[in-house]
A and B are shown apart, each in its own frame.
Chain A
């Protein structure tokens, strides 16, 4: 139990630290890397509470796809320009009033949510639900996703297919005068069609009619 607590504090410290670093660093590329660190440590926290599916999905989707996408976007922007700009102290003071109001509202809302928890209705405790502790998360999800909700799963697949078709139709344009690879033609090419032996007379060059 002690090891669990130690790990929890270790990873949550990293999470909080890197979450702060995301907004504090001036270099946007570093900022994205810290964001990746946040995702990874959050996914470790998920795994630690037994939600290994959520943790892995967090890794695959957020780190593997979303963060990489962010990184690409950031790299396409002109980062150098932003670094060389002098930090403006006045910005903090100007935005202080609005920022503190928003912060205070969020703090109050959190207070209401946590305070309201004391007056919550009666819920069933977790021990009342019939969970099979032998099953992993992935297994349990798969059990209902491929049986009770198979039709929904398939319809979602259709939606993704249509999204792909739509993205291709709306953006793909066949350009003229672009040499494309023709795999079969290229592989099938033989020596006889590509190379020709020419007797070069001395004193004259060789001209090709192509």
Chain B
């Protein structure tokens, strides 16, 4: 009974899922109600997570951990899930996919992510991963009468199942060569001479890299981002990344910490490849969702660069990078949601041309967000990259830092191109002005946070600096 206190958020979320499912079935046209209840329950779950004990607790035979990292990441997951739901309400209604299952599946996938974040055992981790991916497959093909959406869902399903298979193979190798699925026991048993287990690590990294869409396992990202409904794309770009990156951090620094030299090369390679592809491949894109997909691949490359350092400051800079990435992407997708005219949403970059003449405020926040994504000081995106490069240089990996800087410059091109289209091209017909308040709040909030971050950088740094893995 003692342990129930520690899994209150998870229990609460699962009970809410079942309760809302029943409510949604018996009440007619219940999307609005279910959506509202989902947001409220996510907010309540944040309170429950905040209430958790501060010291490290392991429950269920050490297979589930509650520590600083998991608490922070859970709060981030829940918070951004709320924002995604808030900002996508109008989109769902106009596209007629406002079914009551939508928020419930989002909730279930959040539950899966929370389980992943807290997992301290290969089996718990795998079940959490499957729970969240299963929900993501459904969400990707949620607009089922549109070909592109079903194609995205199927593509994601097939590729993700393959990645899960590889991951599971890695897990079984690790289990076979160390004799346990528990992270701590694996960490004690693992050493570089254990070739079989090191072989298993490669497979686990492949699976995890697929989940955060890092090169060379990124193939699904542009197609799935483009094909699925924009509300789902914004969910894809924000929330699963938190869980996957947390698990990445935990895997590398708890069970695999003794074979650091073995996996460091792999992570550096993945990081460099992601940064280069994210910068180069996005140049030719015309669809803004596709562009965001490549941009997120690039950003994940920078986040992994921090992870590859093997120092606590590197991990902390990765977490800060993740948080700022989330805020920027929330704003960017808010802008994409606003590209709406007579109940149709526009996705092409050319549709933005001359936006500044008709919508000065929208284009201003677009400007802020894009400058920040490009990493131009004094916006938050600059600081995110700055911390990463600081810790990378501190640990003496100059090649990684130089490649990172070069790709930043290259990627600035396509962000600046959008700004040029917004400010210097011929204006088109204005977009609609009637926005949902949730969309407005999330967009204004993210723009302001990006803008004023440089005044109080210590707040975020102080919070994150208490996350110490080892």
Contact = CB atoms under 8 A, between A and B. Distances in A.
Classify the secondary structure of A's interface with B: helix
A148 B130 contact: no
Contacts of B105: 162, 165-166, 169
Contact of B14 (A158, A163, A168): A158
A169 B127 CA distance: 22
B131 A162 contact: yes
A114 interface: no
A155 B60 CA distance: 13
Nearest to A160: B134
B138 A162 contact: yes
Interface string B86-111: 00000000000001010011001001
B111 A158 contact: yes
A33 B203 CA distance: 40
Contact of B124 (A152, A162, A169): A152
A163 B134 contact: yes
A138 interface: no
Interface in A164-195: 165-166, 168-170
B131 A158 contact: yes
Contact of A162 (B135, B142, B144): B135
Nearest to A147: B61
A169 B131 contact: no
B127 A166 contact: no
B99 A159 contact: no
B309 interface: no
B130 A159 contact: yes
A139 interface: no
Given A162-B138, A169-B142, A155 B101 contact: no
B141 interface: yes
| Residue of B18, B63, B127 contacting most chain A CB atoms (<10 Å) | B127
A159 B138 CA distance: 12
Grouping DSSP codes into helix (H, G, I), strand (E, B) and loop, the B interface class, with mixed when no group exceeds half, is helix
Given A158-B14, A162-B105, A151 B134 contact: no
Contact of B63 (A151, A161, A165, A166): A151
Contacts of B61: 148
Given A151-B60, A155-B127, A155-B128, A166 B138 contact: yes
A170 B141 contact: yes
B137 interface: yes
B376 interface: no
B123 interface: yes
B228 to A, nearest CB: 13
A151 B64 contact: yes
B101 A165 contact: yes
Interface residues of B, number: 30
B111 A169 contact: no
B368 interface: no
Interface in B111-129: 111-112, 115, 123-124, 127-128
Contacts of B63: 151
A151 B130 contact: no
B21 interface: yes
A155 B131 contact: yes
A79 to B, nearest CB: 29
A141 B144 CA distance: 41
A158 to B, nearest CB: 6
A204 B131 CA distance: 70
A156 B134 contact: no
B33 to A, nearest CB: 17
A151 B138 contact: no
A156 B130 CA distance: 9
Contacts of B108: 158, 161-162, 165
A158 B130 CA distance: 10
Nearest to B109: A162
A150 B138 CA distance: 27
Contacts of A159: 127, 130-131, 134
A132 B364 CA distance: 72
Contact of B127 (A150, A152, A165): A152
Contacts of B138: 162, 165-166, 169-170
A107 B290 CA distance: 49
Contacts of A154: 14
Contacts of B111: 158
B113 to A, nearest CB: 12
A148 B131 CA distance: 20
Contacts of B131: 155, 158-159, 162
Contacts of B21: 165
Interface in A131-159: 148-152, 154-156, 158-159
Nearest to B128: A155
Nearest to B138: A166
A165 B115 contact: no
Nearest to B134: A162
A13 to B, nearest CB: 34
Interface string B401-423: 00000000000000000000000
Contacts of B115: 155
Nearest to B14: A158
Nearest to B131: A159
A165 B144 contact: no
A149 to B, nearest CB: 8
Nearest to B13: A158
Contacts of A170: 138, 141-142, 144
B14 A152 contact: no
A141 to B, nearest CB: 15
Nearest to B130: A159
A103 to B, nearest CB: 26
Given A158-B112, A165-B101, 10 more contacts: A148-B61, A150-B60, A152-B127, A155-B115, A159-B127, A159-B130, A161-B108, A163-B134, A165-B104, A170-B138
11 contacts: A151-B64, A155-B124, A155-B128, A159-B134, A161-B17, A161-B18, A165-B101, A165-B104, A165-B138, A169-B105, A169-B138
Which 5 A-B residue pairs are closest in the complex by CB-CB distance?
A166-B138, A155-B127, A169-B101, A162-B108, A159-B131
